[in-house]
Amino acid sequence: MAQTHLLGLLSDFGLRDGYVGVMKAVMLSIAPDARLVDISHEIAPQDIEGGAWTLGMAWRSFPVGSVLLCVVDPGVGSARRAVALVAHGRVFVGPDNGLFTYPLDDDGSGEDAAPRCVSLDDPRYHLPTPSATFHGRDIFAPCAAHLASGTPLAELGSVVDPATLVRLPIALRPRREGDVWVARVAHVDHFGNLITNIGAELTRRALAHPLAHISLAQREISARASHFAAGPQGEPLFLQDSSGALAIAVRDGSAAQTLGAQRGDEVMVRGLADAEDAC
């Protein structure tokens, strides 16, 4: 039996216009057995950072061998490169504009081979006469489908040094200033949860220390919970989100609305040193 690869899709195309369906029709024409899985097509238009975060959250759930097609591409048709990147056993396909910042900066589990990358410049794997405005259909979708069908990476174009790929100039991890950790809201989700760039270990420490608290929007948040329903109604709390990060939430409500917060807002973790002193 031929192996069936998962092919994840992420874009800012929305679901109204039919652009996503067109990409899928192109892919299934080339790779009829590929299993397509939508990650999101509701990334805000041209929001590369939002696309990068969402991909960063999702890619680990796709098994090794999956292809992840990502098209948030305001530079379509310009000199920005179109690339396929193998990292952590998955293949990432899309424009070289920072979308792959999170998997590129992930130090991995130690088991990873070095990333490899090509520029998608071999027209044999494109649709004939590609447009200058819809590389999702004309270049990325067919290349992703060929990769999912087993075409080797090196066939698709010339080698690119992964170190030259664009990374977003955003802080992926908090910085320490004395006793304070300065972090940021990395994503506001559909429920209004504020997901920060505070990683699993620091989150566990903050949850464990009674004196630790979070500052956001001139508000101190010291309530914490192991899960949403353990929190008080209507009051912001912090917890460990399913990715391991520290998130700020309101039970049965929206932390974003309650706090007037948005992506990029500064979040500080304070009191950890006091807490440790108190131990």
Cα distance between residue 45 and residue 47, in whole Å: 5
Structure tokens at 185: 């809201």
The least distance separating a second copy from the CB of residue 52, rounded to whole angstroms, comes to: 12
The least distance separating a second copy from the CB of residue 217, rounded to whole angstroms, comes to: 21
Q: Which stretch binds a second copy (CB under 8 A): 127-135, 152-160, 214-222, 262-270?
A: 127-135
Answer yes or no whether residue 134 interacts with a second copy by CB under 8 A: yes
Identity of the residue, 16 or 177, whose beta carbon is nearer to a second copy in the bound complex? 16
Output the CA–CA distances (angstroms, integers) from residue 24 to 106, 210, 219, in the order listed. Answer: 29, 50, 46
Interface with a second copy (CB under 8 A), residue from 62, 92, 140, 238: 62
Answer yes or no whether residue 43 interacts with a second copy by CB under 8 A: yes
Cα distance between residue 216 and residue 219, in whole Å: 5
For residues 197-236, which are near a second copy according to CB under 8 A?
226-230
Answer yes or no whether residue 257 interacts with a second copy by CB under 8 A: no
Interface with a second copy (CB under 8 A), residue from 81, 88, 126, 137: 137
Q: How many residues bind to a second copy according to rule CB under 8 A?
A: 66
The least distance separating a second copy from the CB of residue 161, rounded to whole angstroms, comes to: 24
Identity of the residue, 10 or 216, whose beta carbon is nearer to a second copy in the bound complex? 10
Q: Which stretch binds a second copy (CB under 8 A): 75-83, 106-114, 156-164, 256-264?
A: 75-83
Identity of the residue, 36 or 86, whose beta carbon is nearer to a second copy in the bound complex? 36
Hey, what amino acid is at 78? S
Interface with a second copy (CB under 8 A), residue from 29, 158, 164, 262: 29
Written in H, E and C, the secondary structure of the chain is CCCCCEEEEEECCCCCCCHHHHHHHHHHHHCCCCEEEEEECCCCCCCHHHHHHHHHHHHHHCCCCCEEEEECCCCCCCCCCEEEEEECCEEEEEECCCCCHHHHHCCCCCCCCCCEEEECCCHHHCCCCCCCCCHHHHHHHHHHHHHHCCCCHHHHCCEECHHHCCCCCCCCCCEEECCEEEEEEEEECCCCCEEECCCHHHHHHHHHCCCCEEEECCEEECCECCCHHHCCECCEEEEECCCCCEEEEEECECHHHHHCCCCCCEEEEECHHHHHHHC
Answer yes or no whether residue 189 interacts with a second copy by CB under 8 A: yes
Answer yes or no whether residue 110 interacts with a second copy by CB under 8 A: no
Interface with a second copy (CB under 8 A), residue from 138, 143, 216, 259: 138
**Binding stretches for a second copy (CB under 8 A):** 4, 6, 8, 10, 13-22, 24-26, 28-29, 32, 35, 37-43, 45-46, 54-55, 57-58, 61-63, 66, 74-78, 80, 131-134, 137-138, 187, 189-191, 226-230, 239-242, 247, 251-252
